Amino acid sequence: MAPWQNLTYFLAALAGCCVLDGSAVMSMTSLDLPSHLSFLSRPHPNPIELADRFLTELVEMLEVEPAQARETAREALGSELHPKLFSPLLSKLDQ
């Protein structure tokens, strides 16, 4: 399995973890991170937008030509996606 596939599955599984109740962001500022990982303690200003963009790209990958990319997107959306992203996914598929 290629590293990009593992990263796609990882992001699908954890994309909803940083979004609480649709708007709040979990803070990692209380963690004692090594200096080279300090960027993780600064939350993105709009994590919902990032999750939405990630879902959009995965849904678009369902129609691309390389079968490996389609299968990876299908697997990520079908069995790896965080439950908090089910509703946004269904909205995207309904469009």
Residue-level pLDDT at 42: 66
Task: Please list the pLDDT of the chain residue by residue as tens digits (95 residues).
Answer: 688 899 999 989 988 876 665 544 555 555 666 776 666 666 667 778 888 899 999 999 999 999 999 999 999 999 999 998 898 899 998 88
Q: What is the pLDDT of residue 44?
A: 67
Question: Cβ(62)–Cβ(74) under 8 Å?
Answer: yes
76: left (phi over 0), alpha (psi -120 to 50) or beta: alpha
What local confidence, expressed as pLDDT, does residue 14 receive?
Answer: 86
pLDDT at 57: 93
